[in-house]
Amino acid sequence: MLRLIILFFILPLPTQALEFAMPVGLKKIAQHDNALDTVLLPLNIWDGSKVPSKKFIGASSKVVFRSDVATKPDAIAAVILPQLIANGYKLTLQCADQYCGGFDFRFSLKVLPPPEMHVDLGNYIFIGFQKGNDKAAWVLISQSLKQTHVQLTTIQPTQNKDLKFSTLPVPKGPEQLSSQLTETGHFILADLKFEAGAAKLEGDVFPSLLALVEYLRVRPNQSIVLVGHTDSQGPLESNIKLSKERAIAVQSLLNTQFPDIEPDRINANGIGYLAPVASNETRAGLEMNRRVEVILIPTD
C-alpha cells in the first residue's frame, strides 16, 4: 500500500507542448522533439481495415517514461486524463489493448521503438485528446512483468506558419535542396530509385545526395534524419519495415561514399504509408509516396 501511495504523488514535466505532471516513479528516459512532423490522432478503434484518424501537422514532442514498478495502465491513465482535460483538451478516444484493435491499433501509432518504449499488446491503454482544430495529444500506457511504460505525444502549430508538408513541391532538381532545407527543414530526395518491393538502390550516384553532402559539409553542427515512406499497398508493419530499410540503405551509401561526414550526424527511420504526399488511388500518387526524405534535426 505504501508503494502505491508514493507512486501517485506528481512531479512537473517540462514539455514545450503543455504543462503536465507525471506520477512519481515514472522517470523520463527519452524525448524527441520535431519542429515539423505529422501525427495521426486515432478517433476510433481498428475497424478491420484501418484506424479512423485525424492528421495534425506541426511541432511534435514524443516523451517516454518508465517505472520499475509494474502498475496497471488504468491507474496511470486516471492520473493523466484529468490533467489534459484541465489544460483544455477534449477526450476523443479511450480504449484498451484488444478492444482498441491490439496489434493493428498499436502499429497505427508512431511509437518510439525499444529499448525506449515497450508495448505489451495484451496490456495497454490508449487515450487521445484534441484542443481546438490544431492541437492534439495522445498517451499510450503499457505494463510489462516488472515495469510500467508511458509515451506522451503532443503536436501543436509550428512557430513558422509557412511550414506545411502538404504544400511542399516535389523537387525538380538537387539545386533546390539547400534553399528548401534552410527554409522548411524538409526535402524529398526524388531521384532515389529502389527495386520494386526491396530496399536496394538502383545505382550509387544521385545528385540529390551530392547536394545533401555539400549542405552538411558547410554546416558541421547540423544532423539529419532520413525518413523512408511507402505507398499504401500491403500491411502497415511490413511497410514500416521496408521504409526503414530503404532509409538505412541511403544512410549506408552516404556513410560509405562520404566518410568525412560523421556517421552519427546521419540517422535513419521509416514510417510506412502513414504520411502520404499524394493520393494512393493513382499510379503517379503511389510513385510519389514511395520516397525517402531528409529532415533537419533541430540544433541546440
The per-residue pLDDT for 165 is 36
The per-residue pLDDT for 20 is 60
Q: What is the pLDDT of residues 134-157, one digit of tens each?
A: 999 999 999 988 899 999 999 988
The per-residue pLDDT for 218 is 94
The per-residue pLDDT for 285 is 77
Tens digit of pLDDT at every position of the chain (300 positions)? 333 333 333 333 433 445 566 766 788 888 888 877 889 999 999 999 999 999 998 888 898 999 998 888 988 888 888 888 888 899 999 999 999 999 999 999 999 888 889 999 999 999 999 999 999 999 999 998 889 999 999 998 876 433 333 334 455 578 889 988 888 788 899 899 887 788 888 888 899 999 999 999 999 999 999 999 988 888 888 889 999 999 999 999 999 999 999 999 999 999 888 888 777 777 777 888 888 999 998 875
The per-residue pLDDT for 283 is 78
Q: Say if residues 37 and 59 touch (Cβ distance below 8 Å).
A: yes
The per-residue pLDDT for 90 is 93
The per-residue pLDDT for 292 is 93
Q: What is the pLDDT of residues 22-55, one digit of tens each?
A: 766 788 888 888 877 889 999 999 999 999 999 9
The per-residue pLDDT for 168 is 43
The per-residue pLDDT for 179 is 87
- Considering the domain delimited by 168-297, tell me its CATH architecture: 2-Layer Sandwich (3.30)
Provide the residue ranges of all domains of the chain, joining segments of one domain with +: 2-156, 168-297
The per-residue pLDDT for 45 is 96
The per-residue pLDDT for 16 is 43
The per-residue pLDDT for 250 is 95
The per-residue pLDDT for 299 is 73
